[in-house]
Amino acid sequence: AQTVTQSQPEMSVQEAETVTLSCTYDTSESDYYLFWYKQPPSRQMILVIRQEAYKQQNATENRFSVNFQKAAKSFSLKISDSQLGDAAMYFCAYRSSILTGGGNKLTFGTGTQLKVEL
């Protein structure tokens, strides 16, 4: 079974600064997907960014980028130019290849609470 570990329960960043959230995972599969989700106080789960394991290039979405190290099984999220609206719980998640028959079943980490300070 796959596991996802987020070792930082809380992180703080100053507005306009850069912060990196860590995530490691364990799997014996070679084809999979990794995600970062944001959960603000409203509880809505919002997809931030997605990475396909077969792609060597790191995914980017505006101010959000990842550092995907497949051999090290590491998948960190970098938020640049942090804004007050970035304050939320961030979850790292793993999904097996569709070919395994698991569909979009996700395995989540325990989350990192990000605080953005003025």
Partner 1 sequence: NAGVMQNPRHLVRRRGQEARLRCSPMKGHSHVYWYRQLPEEGLKFMVYLQKENIIDESGMPKERFSAEFPKEGPSILRIQQVVRGDSAAYFCASSPPTRYTEAFFGQGTRLTVV
Chain residues that interact with partner 1, rule: CB under 8 A? 6, 33, 35, 42-45, 47, 50, 91, 98, 101-111
Least Cβ distance, residue 47 to partner 1 (angstroms): 6
- Which C-beta is closer to partner 1: that of 33 or that of 75? 33
Residue among 50, 15, 16 at smallest CA distance from 32: 50
Burial class (CB in 10 A: 0-12, 13-18, 19+), 68: buried
Q: For the CA atoms of the chain, what is the radius of gyration?
A: 14
Least Cβ distance, residue 113 to partner 1 (angstroms): 10
Least Cβ distance, residue 68 to partner 1 (angstroms): 17
Classify strands 60-61 and 64-69 as parallel, antiparallel or unpaired: antiparallel
- Which C-beta is closer to partner 1: that of 37 or that of 79? 37
